[in-house]
Amino acid sequence: MPPTEGSESLDFLLAQVCKAHRARVHALFEQLGLYHGQPPLLFALWEQDGQTHTELAGRLHIRAATVTKMVQRMEKAGFVTRRPDPDDQRVSRVYLTDLGHNIKEEVNKVFQRLEAETFAGLTPEERALLRRFLVQMRDNLLRADAANPAP
């Protein structure tokens, strides 16, 4: 349902929040030389360095081709490097560079800043209630998708 003048639908407001959040994430990470989708790859490597593209794709729930493109871009920026697997030369492993290791604190600060900016003015009780609502919405959509997958 499209929004009507003076009263916007919840769906429209949610879309606006998601769009504004994505734009803010992009702006904050751009200052660090990162794209918005790259921090999850960094987190995966901070947890376990030296993963293969397939392992990263599984961990991040994205296609291996997407990981390959992401790794290429991050390698060019100096955050990661690829090296052949010592046991299987057909496989390459992704490792953090010094820059990739050293940016961890800055990435965490961006997430803290983003959370503070996003939820400014909400009480702890309101945040807890919002969390409950968001979990319910996510679960509703996952259930609907499982029951009626898109063609």
Give the pLDDT confidence of 113-126 residue by residue, as tens digits. 999 999 999 999 99
Task: Please report the pLDDT score of residue 7 as a whole number.
Answer: 57
Q: 51 pairs with which residues across the strands?
A: 94
Identify the pLDDT of residue 151.
Answer: 74
| Element holding 96 (H helix, E strand) | strand 92-96
Distance, C-alpha 83 to centroid of its chain: 25
> What number is the average pLDDT over the span 54-71?
95
What Å distances lie between residue 38 and 74, 78, 98, CA to CA?
8, 13, 16
| pLDDT-derived band at 1, boundaries 50, 70, 90 | very low
**Domain range list for the chain:** 10-120, 123-151
Q: What is the average per-residue pLDDT within 24-28?
A: 96
Q: Which fold has domain 10-120?
A: Arc Repressor Mutant, subunit A (1.10.10)
d(CA 129, CA 122): 10
pTM of the model: 0.82
Return d(Cα 115, Cα 110) in angstroms, integer: 9
Question: What is the predicted pLDDT for the residue at 50?
Answer: 96
Is the pLDDT score of 150 beyond 80?
no
